[in-house]
Structure 1
Amino acid sequence: MTPRNARPQPQVLLMVPTSVGVGLTSASLGLIQALDTIGLKAGFLKPFRQDELNGPGPDRSTALVSSTLGLHPPAPMTQADMERLLRQDRLDVLMEQVIELHAQAAEGLDGHPDLIVVEGLVPTAHGTYATQLNTQLAHALNARIILVGSGDTTDPQALAEQLDMHAQAFGGIGSARTLGCILMRMQNLPGSEEASPPLVSGASNPMLDEGLLTELRRYSPTLATDRFHLIGVVPYNPALIAPRIIDVARALDARFLNEGDAANRRVLSTSLCARSAANALHAFRPGSLIVTSGDRDDIVLASALATMNGVPMAGVLLTNGFMPNDNMIEMCRPALNTGMPVLAVDTDSFTTAKNLGNMGNDIPMDDLERAEQVTRFVASHIDLQWLKDHLSRGHASRLSPSAFRHQLVKLSQQANRRIVLPEGSEPRTVEAAAICQRRGIARCVLLANREEVEEVARNRGIELPPDLEIIDPDSVRSRYVGPMVERRYGKVNELTAEDQLQDNVVLGTMMLQLDEVDGLVSGAIHTTANTIRPAFQLIKTAPGYDQVSSIFFMLLPEQVVVYGDCAVIPDPNAETLAEIAIQSARSAQAFGIEPRVAMISYSTGESGSGVDVEKVRQATQLARRQAPELLIDGPLQYDAAAIESVGRQKAPDSPVAGRATVFVFPDLNTGNTTYKAVQRSARVVSVGPMLQGLNKPVNDLSRGALVDDIVYTIALTAIQAAQREAG
């Protein structure tokens, strides 16, 4: 009999692969991410290690789940121990150990997990027992089955037979135990050429799923049941299996002549250059690894020239053991200084190319960037609505980081706003604009010369959507001189207005002021002051506010919280700090975060004294009077605000302590230092800064912003614009 207050046991989803190389771990990563997006906490377990697939060192699946998703699953049982128990016919003991690992996987999470995703054994020539053990795992863990397969839509019969055969071990596809399948690395999917963005953008295309399922049912009558669902259909994408140059060096046992940026540059294509440079110009493109004999000076020089012209090639691999002479190396020095990797092997070019072709597609344990991209890509092709309908089981949802990102994309798509990007030819901005345009996140306007934008796109391998708007600022500046003089009457004349409008940020701000666009995003190559000053002068503050401040959305492992102000106001007084608190709370509320505001200080409650603490105390009182509907408390130390056990001890009567979602820092020094320390030390994604208090949405970027950061900031801006219009 189950005790009345006992927690429900987490559901178990057993991922059963149909063959080697289907992308089992990628499917598990994506599924856990998708579950997180709908507010379900999932743990991970790989019960058995398979040496012939993993190689030496730690278990790859467990390590990738740990580094990518922040989970801490137990180490799997060794293959030697597993096979020893099988030989001794001690299957019961083996399953008891699996149950213990399952318990550890559940206990290793903060809070109680809703599900455990278990990675089954891969059938290999060595592991003939895979099907038997997967069946035993399903029974021992009372697991539901998700088949993980791969194939080609042009051969649905082979795919249907593959699924049918592997489902037989679990009672067939019609069994209540078998939920459905995730099809990975699918070839020849309609529309797959567009399936390359890094963002989690929602459920997979149901029409595509239904069409494929209908085709599969033609060849397998057992698939003709409503119980079996295509949970995910993930297209093959060569960009997601692209190794880094450092991975190539490890696989070929190559030596570096110039390591450069080998840890980050990826091989999107390989070009074996045996012809003269003039006949191989097509090979010098973004992401290309040039393979050539070390004595081919013309190819080496052409590679250096392409690099200096801004083409981000993957690198150069020299064969036959030949080395360029010192004069040649000096000639190429400027290219080497850009980070272009150059490595060498002793094998001939043909053998080297063959060895490259034999490299595996597994994600290296230290390639966190690729693991995260694969996780997001797979999650974006999983049917979230189906997961919610069949697995939620009454669980309350929570605003997890992936749910927040998913919400940003969906809300911005609904907003359909026009956002101006003054840094229109900056490479990261161009790429972000292309993603936003293609995904419907915003209608982007690049302020730049079209030829410059097209050259950036060509050099970086970016495909510009045909409807991406590019406005040459030189062709429109004169239109804004009169409106600017009128807007800043008595402060600027025509000459000074014309001069200030040479700055594209000022030009974009005037476009926003005149309602020609709905929002502005800048800062990838401009300072915060460059972005904000024109907004102060031309847009001004929103009604009811005297200050413009900023917040960051901090995507902590368990939830999203708000930090303010970390970017704008250096040393606010008590009145300004109170306004920052109210602005930050309302911004949090607008993005689905229940605001519980902690006014941060170096002491909690009445325990400390001094000018700085008194300022926070006064600001708390002012904010409470101005917005009595909000939960605001302070002064609170950070740990008392964030950690429940500490909050109960230090501020037992506080409605905020231990459960704060909005952290308001006493000054810019504290706020900026804290956000960067958390971001870098804990590997937390921060979205922002988002400016608040302006009459129209203008948002600043960090100059170190990644493409994804810019995309999310554009999404934030579009949502702000829609919310402003809605009042």
Structure 2
Amino acid sequence: VFKSGLMMKPIFDKARANPKKVVFAEGEDERVLRAVRTIIDDKLATPILIGRPRVVKARIEKIGIDLKIGRDFELVNPQKDSRYKDYWQLYHEIMQRSGITPDIAKAIVRTRPTVIASLMVQRGEADAMLAGLTGRFPKILQHIQEVLGCKNGVQQAATLSGISTEYGNFFFCDTYVNPDPNAEQIADSAILAAEKLRDFGKIPRIALLSYSSFGSRDGESPNKMRKALQIIQAKAPDLEIEGEMEADIALIPELRESIFPNSKLKGRANLFMMPNLDSANMAINLLRNFTKGVTVGPILLGCKQAAHVLIPTASVRRIINMTAIAVVDAQHKDAER
């Protein structure tokens, strides 16, 4: 049993109830091929892979798994696809005022599988996408946002990372995208992250973290988190959220009760909103190594369509987990239409 299994069970159950078409930008990667076999067996999604047929066939034979192009998955060949003209023309239409000429659009669509995957989702040929096993996270995210954009009212996408430990499941935001989010961006991310926790079967209990607790100190970080709290309370007054506070106060209810008895947050927090990218990324990596916990994510928040950016070190299990999360996202997008 994988360590992330219990944490992911509600997501897997939802995905199996209504599988969606998921396109994988790095369809030639052996990890994707191994993941696809499990995704098919577990009926989580209908996979679409981007890759060269010769390379994909050779790698399937090399790793010795029972997969066949056409029977088990659709393969999009970036070097030869009947929709190539439609793709580059759509990409040019989207990017023509960003210095992208028709010739540049043609070259990008031939060579950037993330762009192809994004265009497939935009055109409705796939319901969700995963990319990022090769390349740098910011560049992959840039391609996705250029084609798909952010949800209405969301300033900037963000990421949520979860960790399963012997002490419980915890979530951190924003772990990969915004170096120094403003109060409005933190508020947007908190509301989106709370929605995602419900997909995991969790009641979101949110702590806005800083080096100050309930006005004990002033400074750029605590002031920002206080402002974020005001925005969240106006937009989502039913959320169980409190701040700003130090990390130990978020984790120890008795300590919080002793210094701030009127806290709206009851019990131990499970969603930690961090003041910047440094603190979020370091916090989850320290916790993962100290507890030997297993992480899930990064989960992209705020994208107009169902899309996620994998990290280059992603394991087969992480790809499977993120596929299920992408399917559930796509289900939500359908419900919103």
* Band the TM-score falls in, shorter-chain normalisation: over 0.9
**In structure 2, what is the Cα distance between the partners aligned to 1:708 and 1:676?**
18
- Shift of the 595–498 alpha-carbon distance from structure 1 to 2, 3 Å rule, reads same
Query: Identity across aligned pairs (percent)?
Result: 25
Deviations 1:105-154 (A, max 9, x none): xxxxxxxxxxxxxxxxxxxxxxxxxxxxxxxxxxxxxxxxxxxxxxxxxx
**In structure 2, what is the Cα distance between the partners aligned to 1:435 and 1:402?**
14
**Structure 2 residue corresponding to 1:422, chosen from 11, 25, 45:** 25
- One-letter code of the match for 2:220? V
**Structure 2 residue corresponding to 1:496, chosen from 86, 104, 123:** 104
Q: Work out whether residues 206 and 240 of structure 2, in 8 Å CA contact, stay in contact via their aligned partners in 1.
A: yes
Tell me which residue corresponds to 1:705.
314
Unaligned runs of 5+ in 2: none
- Shift of the 608–657 alpha-carbon distance from structure 1 to 2, 3 Å rule, reads farther
**In structure 2, what is the Cα distance between the partners aligned to 1:509 and 1:485?**
13
**In structure 2, what is the Cα distance between the partners aligned to 1:657 and 1:669?**
27
- Match of 1:720, SS? helix
Q: In terms of Rg, which structure is larger?
A: 1
Tell me which residue corresponds to 1:404.
7
TM-score by length of 2: 0.92
**In structure 1, what is the Cα distance between the partners aligned to 2:63 and 2:180?**
42
Q: Work out whether residues 159 and 177 of structure 2, in 8 Å CA contact, stay in contact via their aligned partners in 1.
A: yes
- One-letter code of the match for 1:498? K
**In structure 2, what is the Cα distance between the partners aligned to 1:444 and 1:619?**
39
**In structure 1, what is the Cα distance between the partners aligned to 2:277 and 2:5?**
28
Task: Spell out the pairing of 1:243-258 with structure 2 (5 A cutoff).
Answer: none
Residue 599 of structure 1 and its aligned partner are, at CA, apart by: 0.4
- Shift of the 498–606 alpha-carbon distance from structure 1 to 2, 3 Å rule, reads same
More deviation in 644-653 or 656-665? 644-653
- Match of 1:490, SS? helix
Unaligned runs of 5+ in 1: 1-374, 377-399
**In structure 1, what is the Cα distance between the partners aligned to 2:160 and 2:255?**
25
Q: Work out whether residues 647 and 657 of structure 1, in 8 Å CA contact, stay in contact via their aligned partners in 2.
A: no
Tell me which residue corresponds to 1:266.
none
Residue 663 of structure 1 and its aligned partner are, at CA, apart by: 0.9
- Match of 1:475, SS? coil
Tell me which residue corresponds to 2:136.
527
Tell me which residue corresponds to 2:88.
481
**In structure 2, what is the Cα distance between the partners aligned to 1:406 and 1:595?**
17
**In structure 2, what is the Cα distance between the partners aligned to 1:725 and 1:536?**
19
- Determine whether 1:692 maps to 2:297: no
- Match of 1:409, SS? helix
Task: Spell out the pairing of 1:423-502 with structure 2 (5 A cutoff).
Answer: 423-464=26-67, 466-476=71-81, 477-491=84-98, 492-501=100-109, 502=111
Deviations 1:166-192 (A, max 9, x none): xxxxxxxxxxxxxxxxxxxxxxxxxxx
**In structure 1, what is the Cα distance between the partners aligned to 2:220 and 2:90?**
46
Residue 489 of structure 1 and its aligned partner are, at CA, apart by: 4.2
**In structure 1, what is the Cα distance between the partners aligned to 2:328 and 2:167?**
24
Deviations 1:444-478 (A, max 9, x none): 11101122112222222322153222221111233
- One-letter code of the match for 1:701? L
Q: Work out whether residues 4 and 296 of structure 2, in 8 Å CA contact, stay in contact via their aligned partners in 1.
A: no
Deviations 1:309-355 (A, max 9, x none): xxxxxxxxxxxxxxxxxxxxxxxxxxxxxxxxxxxxxxxxxxxxxxx
**Structure 2 residue corresponding to 1:610, chosen from 204, 219, 236:** 219
- One-letter code of the match for 1:458? E
- Match of 1:488, SS? helix
Tell me which residue corresponds to 1:584.
193
**In structure 2, what is the Cα distance between the partners aligned to 1:403 and 1:657?**
24
Q: Work out whether residues 651 and 657 of structure 1, in 8 Å CA contact, stay in contact via their aligned partners in 2.
A: no
Higher relative contact order (CA 8 A, sep 6+): 2
**In structure 2, what is the Cα distance between the partners aligned to 1:430 and 1:547?**
32
Q: Work out whether residues 648 and 658 of structure 1, in 8 Å CA contact, stay in contact via their aligned partners in 2.
A: no
- One-letter code of the match for 1:493? T
Q: Work out whether residues 432 and 710 of structure 1, in 8 Å CA contact, stay in contact via their aligned partners in 2.
A: yes
Tell me which residue corresponds to 1:660.
269
Residue 699 of structure 1 and its aligned partner are, at CA, apart by: 0.5
- Shift of the 515–489 alpha-carbon distance from structure 1 to 2, 3 Å rule, reads same
**In structure 2, what is the Cα distance between the partners aligned to 1:401 and 1:480?**
37
Task: Spell out the pairing of 1:146-545 with structure 2 (5 A cutoff).
Answer: 375=1, 402-464=5-67, 466-476=71-81, 477-491=84-98, 492-501=100-109, 502-545=111-154
Deviations 1:549-591 (A, max 9, x none): 1101222325333211101011011221121211211222233
- Determine whether 1:714 maps to 2:323: yes
TM-score by length of 1: 0.44
**In structure 1, what is the Cα distance between the partners aligned to 2:287 and 2:38?**
28
**In structure 2, what is the Cα distance between the partners aligned to 1:526 and 1:688?**
17
Q: Work out whether residues 598 and 657 of structure 1, in 8 Å CA contact, stay in contact via their aligned partners in 2.
A: no
**Structure 2 residue corresponding to 1:634, chosen from 222, 243, 264:** 243
Deviations 1:601-626 (A, max 9, x none): 11211212212111111111121112
Could you list the runs of 4 or more consecutive aligned residues of structure 1 that deviate by over 6 angstroms after TM superposition?
Answer: none
Q: Work out whether residues 547 and 576 of structure 1, in 8 Å CA contact, stay in contact via their aligned partners in 2.
A: yes
